[in-house]
Amino acid sequence: MNVTLATTAFAPVVLGFFGLGTGYLIYGPQELFGFPRRDASVDRASGVWGIWLPGFCQFVTGVYLFVALTWLETLKDPVLYTAALAFSAYGIHWFALGWNRYQGNDVRPTGLMSIAFTIISVLGLVVFFAAGAWPVGILFAGLTGVYVSEFFASFRIGARTGPPSSLSGAQASGGVLSGSLGASRAPEASVVNPGERALGFFHLVTGLWLMYLTFATTLDISLHSMLPGG
């Protein structure tokens, strides 16, 4: 006996939008403004958020889309195949990004990863603009900016040493920095990484756009409120 399931209009793309947007709004301020200042504790916390929000939310969305398109056939729009690829791939790579941040691992392999994900981002940009889905096309334009910036940030291309920006954990007393034995110590110089600043900018802008897409799409599906991009 053949069982045919009804076609649904309720593709759970908003879960992927919201998860990725949350991750971007956590990571962006660190990269652009240095807030909160990164240390082992902050990296562990942001690593956990990276695994579960942009990682798990996108992975679930991508798997659902693939199953609905191929096995259940409850989704019919071919453009969602590109969305399934993107959500699945981005979700899996956020598992790695979050874990590496949690562990404090070397970021240079992330720069090599960004080459492949720049290609996926450009692919999504082409597909969604060609399909007339300009709000998602704008999203993939932002993602392209994220991964191009990630390449420069990970390899510190153009980075330079700036003036000391903090006391680096030492205590100031009468203008003299004291070490653990009371010996004077010069403050450590900071590293200015323009690629990281650009990455933070694209994370924040794209994260805000993802929040808008979540808002507009949910209102459209739930209340038929036609906001632009919903």
Location of structure tokens 């805000």: 208
Q: Would you state the pLDDT for residue 174?
A: 37
Q: Tell me, what DSSP letter sits at residue 36?
A: S
Query: If the chain, 230 residues long, is cut into consecutive pieces of 10 residues, what is the mean pLDDT of each piece?
Result: 80 97 98 95 98 98 97 95 98 98 97 98 98 97 98 95 54 35 48 95 98 96 83
Phi-psi region of 162 (alpha: psi -120 to 50; beta: other; left: phi over 0): beta
Q: Where are the alpha helices (DSSP H) in the chain?
A: 13-33, 40-50, 58-67, 79-103, 108-130, 134-154, 194-223
Q: How far is 98 from 85, CA to CA, in rounded Å?
A: 20
What is the rounded distance in angstroms from the CA atom of residue 165 to the CA atom of residue 182? 21
Please give the full DSSP string across 122-160, using - where no structure is assigned. HHHHHHHHHTT-HHHHHHHHHHHHHHHHHHHHHTTTT-E
Are the CB atoms for 117 and 144 separated by under 8 Å?
no
Distance CA 34, CA 85 (A): 33
This prediction's pTM: 0.87
- How confident is the model at residue 120, as a pLDDT? 98
85-136, pLDDT tens digit by residue? 999 999 999 999 999 999 999 999 999 999 999 999 999 999 999 999 999 9
pLDDT for 142: 98
The dihedral through the CA atoms of 55, 57, 58, 60 has a sign that is: positive
| Residue 164: per-residue pLDDT | 61
Q: How much is the pLDDT for 226?
A: 79
Instruction: Report d(CA 217, CA 19) in Å as an integer.
Output: 14
Give the integer Cα–Cα distance in Å for 26 and 50: 9
- Quote the CA–CA distance of 150 and 106 in Å, as a whole number: 14
